[in-house]
Amino acid sequence: MDRIVRELFCRTGASRGPGRLCLMLDFDGTLSEMAPTPEKARFYPPSRRALDELSRLPGVTVALVSGRDVSDLRRKAGLGRAVYCGNHGLELPGFRLPADVEAAKKAFRRSSLPALRLLREISSRYPGSRIQRKRFSISLHYRALRPVAALAMERELGEAARALARMPGVRTGAGKKVLEVKAKADFHKGAACRLILERRGGAGLYMGDDVTDEDAFRSLRGRAVTVFVGPRSRRTAAMRRVPDPRSAAALLEKILEAAGRGG
Ligand SMILES: [Mg+2]
């Protein structure tokens, strides 16, 4: 862990821009313990305290980068001075995203109602399935279904996915007992972090625990210290690892201590 802090502060001299540190962090599973539902996730208090203090230091950017909507993330995190980035990078208030990404977001907004109608119609016939709607994605979860019902639903969703994929601005993806419908934009957490790092400057750190964080680990190679939060058994593109949100908090406390000393 001390090694990660050293690597980060080594970069403060060589980094460009006015900032000294640019700390970019995933929220769920990184700054919060994983919870049974997204509503139940809570900011781990030691991480919250460390980031609140860090965000008040001159030259330090704290950015929260999540799959959640920004409004939801802001409510959960409640850090007054943080940069908020939601929907896996697509929502980044105060920053200009590439024109093709903005166009894809607009197209998705137009298709999202018919897409939602189609998913609701299927979901209504499968009690226990659940629709989660965000600004730039809609997910249909069916983990709670019995195997026979889940199989029948999967067959229907296969057909629905083909219809959805024909809607402008929409792309679909199937996960573990979930169908995701999202904006067809070539953009992710990593691309958003590069924008944040370019604008704010400073030595960069990115920490995350999930598949979507791998985009950031890859995009930030050579530009930031990247830290995977999770077990050794998982493959990752990150440079370093810590085992869990508790150790992520300990790392943030160490960074705070070092930043307070002046690096
Ligand atoms: Mg996460």
Strands 178-183 and 137-141: antiparallel
User: Cα of 3 to ligand 1 centre, how many Å?
Assistant: 23
What are the CA-CA distances from residue 44 to residues 96, 248, 251 (Å)?
A: 31, 10, 13
Q: Distance between CA 173 and CA 170 in Å, rounded? A: 10
Percent of the chain with pLDDT over 70: 97
pLDDT at 173 over 90: no
110-157 residue pLDDT tens: 999 999 999 999 999 999 999 999 999 999 999 899 999 999 999 999
User: Cα of 250 to ligand 1 centre, how many Å?
Assistant: 17
236-261 residue pLDDT tens: 999 999 999 999 999 999 999 999 87
The count of other CB atoms within 10 Å of the CB of residue 106 is 12
According to the model, what pLDDT value does residue 19 have? 76
User: Cα of 246 to ligand 1 centre, how many Å?
Assistant: 14
According to the model, what pLDDT value does residue 45 have? 97
Mean pLDDT confidence for 14-24: 81
pLDDT at 85 over 90: yes
User: Cα of 148 to ligand 1 centre, how many Å?
Assistant: 30
Cβ neighbors of 159 (< 8 A, separation 6 or more) are none
User: Cα of 107 to ligand 1 centre, how many Å?
Assistant: 27
User: Cα of 181 to ligand 1 centre, how many Å?
Assistant: 19
User: Cα of 64 to ligand 1 centre, how many Å?
Assistant: 11
What are the CA-CA distances from residue 209 to residues 105, 114, 220 (Å)?
A: 26, 33, 15
User: Cα of 7 to ligand 1 centre, how many Å?
Assistant: 23
According to the model, what pLDDT value does residue 36 have? 75
Note the pTM of the prediction, 2 decimals. 0.90
Residue 30 backbone dihedrals phi, psi, to 5 degrees: -115, -55
Overall fold of domain 2-94+188-260: Rossmann fold (3.40.50)
Mean pLDDT confidence for 98-118: 96
Mean pLDDT, all residues of the chain: 93
Q: What is the residue-wise DSSP string for 103-172? A: HHHHHHHHHHHHHHHHHHHHHHTSBTBEEEEETTEEEEE-TTS-HHHHHHHHHHHHHHHHHHHTSTTEEE
User: Cα of 210 to ligand 1 centre, how many Å?
Assistant: 5
User: Cα of 28 to ligand 1 centre, how many Å?
Assistant: 4
Nearest to 183 by CA among 55, 41, 67: 67
177-231 residue pLDDT tens: 889 899 999 999 999 999 999 999 999 999 999 989 999 999 999 999 999 999 9
pLDDT at 262 over 70: no
User: Cα of 163 to ligand 1 centre, how many Å?
Assistant: 30
User: Cα of 27 to ligand 1 centre, how many Å?
Assistant: 6
Look up residue 211 and give its two tokens.
């598949």
Residue 263: pLDDT band with limits 50, 70, 90: low
Q: Where are the domains of the chain?
A: 2-94+188-260, 99-183
User: Cα of 199 to ligand 1 centre, how many Å?
Assistant: 24
According to the model, what pLDDT value does residue 35 have? 79
Domain 99-183 class in CATH: alpha beta
User: Cα of 260 to ligand 1 centre, how many Å?
Assistant: 28
Q: Which amino acid is at 79?
A: L
User: Cα of 29 to ligand 1 centre, how many Å?
Assistant: 5
pLDDT at 94 over 80: yes
pLDDT at 18 over 90: no
CA contacts within 13 A on the Cβ side of 237:
16
Helices (H), 15-137: 45-56, 70-77, 99-124
Query: 181 near 138, Cβ under 8 Å?
Result: yes
Q: Name which residue leads in pLDDT, 69 or 174.
A: 69
The count of other CB atoms within 10 Å of the CB of residue 71 is 13
Burial 143-163 (b: 16+ CB within 10 A, else e): eebeeebbeebeeebeebbee
